[in-house]
Structures are given as structure tokens and as C-alpha cells.
Amino acid sequence: MLQPVFRAAFLLSVCFFCSCIFYQRYPLAYSRLPKINTTNLTFYLLDAAHPRTRVWHLSEAEFLKDKMTGFLVKLDEQDATEVAVVHNRRDARYSRDEVLMFVKPKFVLDMADTATVTIPYTQLEKVEVYEVNAGKSVGVSLFMIFVPIVGVGIISDY
């Protein structure tokens, strides 16, 4: 009698397990930049002093040992806020292919709205990417698998 209930609970927990993937912003070492496969990534330069309002899209990015080159196009304030701020898990999931490079404010003062630039890595304050938070994803998923199993086990004792 409880076997169909157990199967349904198990199938629901497996479905939930597949959807429990959490993303988090992590720092990226400068030494990894030349090794990045740029085909599916979007690069943004952010003013470290004003990251919500001063953002440039970097296209044709080329990363060398100590510097990067690319074509910059400044985003308007609304788009800049969308790039810099993540409100929920869905936003983080959609941002997983974005690389955020925070540039020192003194270097940003000399940047044009649209230009081809070469930026040494010494002018970057930090580089961040969204990656899967494996600990949280696995922990929540395992918890959600075992809750129905334990629940059915408790019910079956009665």
C-alpha cells in the first residue's frame, strides 16, 4: 500500500534534486585569465568605485600574460545595474557566463565610452565569476532526497 506513496515521494525528491543548483560569485585569479576559453563568455569592466553606474562591455577580448585587450562599449545606467546587481537565484543562473572585472578608479577616469584598449592586470582590483556553489547545491539536494524517504519510513511504522 505504501509502495506507490514511496515511489511518488522518491520521484518528487529526484525532480527537486535536479532543480537545486545554487550559484555564487567567486573571485578569479588573474593568472587564469589567459587560459580562459572566451567563446561562450561575456566580459564586463566595472568601475570599482561606482560598479552600478559605470560598466563597459568588453568584446573581442584577448588575454595575454600580463595584460588584456579588447573593444569597450559603455552601458547605460539601467543595463549597468542589471550587470552589477543580482537579485535572486535566477539572475545568478543567467549571469553564470559573465566575467566581471573591476578596474581601479584612477584608470577608469581616462577611459572613453567606446574604444579599443589595453589594460594591464595591475589596473584590475578584482575579477569575479558566477559558478555553482557545490556545497550548498549538494547539501540541499541530499536533504530534500532524504526528507521524503524518512517521512515514508515514519508513516510505514504506524
Break the chain into its structural domains and give their ranges.
1-22+134-158, 23-132
Predicted confidence at residue 72, as pLDDT, reads 94
- pLDDT for the residue 97: 78
pTM greater than 0.75 (yes/no): no
For the residues of 108-158, what is the DSSP string, one character each? Answer: HTT--SEEEEEEEGGGEEEEEEEEE-HHHHHHHHHHHHHHHHHHHHHHHH-
Q: What is the pLDDT of residues 68-124, one digit of tens each?
A: 999 999 999 998 888 887 766 666 666 677 888 999 998 888 888 898 999 999 999
**In this predicted model, what pLDDT tens digit does every residue of 21-58 receive, in sequence order?**
655 666 778 788 888 887 888 899 999 888 888 999 99
Strand order in the sheet with 55-63: 23-27, 124-132, 98-103, 42-47, 55-63, 67-74, 114-120
